[in-house]
Amino acid sequence: MSKEQLYDLAIIGGGAAGITAAIYAARYKLKTILITKEFGGVAMEAHNIENYPGFPQIAGIDLMKKFVDHLKKFEVDLVEDEVGRAEKNDNHFSLTTKKGKVYNSKTLIIAVGTQRRKLDLLGEEKFVNGKGISYCYTCDAPLSKNKTVAVVGGGDSAVQAALLLSKYATKIYLLLRGEKFKAEPIAIDHLLTKKNVEILYKTNVVEVSGEKFLKKIKLNSGKTLDIDGLFVEIGAVPSTFLAKQLGVAIDENSHVTVTPQMETNIPGVYAAGDIVPRFLKQLVVAASDGAIAATTAYNYLMKQSHTAKK
């Protein structure tokens, strides 16, 4: 392996944490590569963001475009691909992507975020990919114009989904598994003003049906709803498979265990963003994690370089 092929830092993940880490790394003059399946992360799905400093109100897709535009001002190698394998080789880490490319780096930041939870119902997979069930409301909301749809969930993403859908759909059923929302109060207040949104509490979907496309859902109450689309917004789980490949410690809630400096139990490996345990999972927190992780990686590399010269 030639010296030119070895990066100082590889970052996996293109959300707020990964992009911020790359910006900081570039400012530290580290030879950096960022690999991500999609730039922007889950923030791209936010209808309106009202709590990121400097932007009283901005769509998630617009805010993340600003993140990416900022990143592109620096010398960072950007790769749109998905890392399928991560391994430690001697004094560096090797990342193999789904496209068969291999990238090597002295240090690594894992900022891959989370994966969407599914309903785990029989036949659910039959209606994905444009056939009625969606896990990305910002992607598919415009397809709901003049239609009847349902949203499953009671957290921030479910409320944001219902708010955006209220601009397109004729009727929206918001199905809460519990007795109350787990979303921001201001978002709930907005939602309650929408006349085309009907909220059903203590409600679960127990069956999905249709021929080629989703047409009906059956609820635990026994009631059947005729709908044209179902948006599943019931949370997400950390994407830890790469961390596990490296032997990184995972806690009981499937988050990567880190120190306040974003260090994992593996020297040279750091984690940032929604993949680590946080009381508050927000863009501003993820960005902070990324900045800290990059700074810690820089300090680690400087220490390694100093030790090597002795």
Q: What's the whole-number average pLDDT of the chain?
A: 93
Which residue of the set 8, 140, 156, 274 is catalytic? Answer: 140
At 214, phi and psi to the nearest 5? -65, 130
- How far from 121 is each of 125, 149, 256, CA to CA, in Å? 8, 18, 29
237-292 pLDDT, tens per residue?
899 999 999 999 999 989 999 999 999 999 999 999 999 999 888 899 999 999 99
Mean pLDDT of 145-157: 96
* pLDDT score for 305: 83
* pLDDT score for 3: 45
Q: At what angle do helices 16-27 and 283-309 cross, to 10 degrees?
A: 40
What is the distance between the alpha carbons of residues 178 and 200, in angstroms, rounded to a whole number? Answer: 10
Residue 235 burial class via C-beta count within 10 angstroms: exposed 0-12, middle 13-18, buried 19 and up: middle
Task: Please determine, for residue 1, whether its predicted confidence score (pLDDT) is greater than 50.
Answer: no
pTM, full prediction: 0.79
Range list of β-strands (E), 29-68: 32-36
For residue 79, give the nearest of 49, 37, 139 by alpha carbon: 37
What is the distance between the alpha carbons of residues 106 and 302, in angstroms, rounded to a whole number? Answer: 12
Task: Please determine, for residue 145, whether its predicted confidence score (pLDDT) is greater than 90.
Answer: yes
2-28 pLDDT, tens per residue?
445 899 999 999 999 999 999 999 999
Q: How many CA atoms lie within 13 A of 11 on its CB side?
A: 36
Q: At what angle do helices 156-165 and 185-192 cross, to 10 degrees?
A: 30
- How far from 29 is each of 25, 111, 219, 290, CA to CA, in Å? 6, 20, 56, 16
What is the distance between the alpha carbons of residues 205 and 121, in angstroms, rounded to a whole number? Answer: 9
User: Is 136 among the residues known to form the active site?
Assistant: yes
Residue 34 pairs in a beta bridge with 11, 78
Range list of β-strands (E), the chain: 6-12, 32-36, 76-80, 83-89, 92-97, 102-110, 114-116, 133-134, 148-152, 171-175, 197-200, 205-210, 214-219, 224-226, 229-232, 236-238, 269-271
User: Is 140 among the residues known to form the active site?
Assistant: yes
- How far from 269 is each of 69, 259, 297, 302, CA to CA, in Å? 27, 12, 8, 15
Which residue of the set 62, 77, 139, 251 is catalytic? Answer: 139
What is the distance between the alpha carbons of residues 14 and 95, in angstroms, rounded to a whole number? Answer: 16
CA 282 to chain centre: 11
What is the distance between the alpha carbons of residues 300 and 268, in angstroms, rounded to a whole number? Answer: 7
Which residue of the set 62, 77, 90, 136 is catalytic? Answer: 136
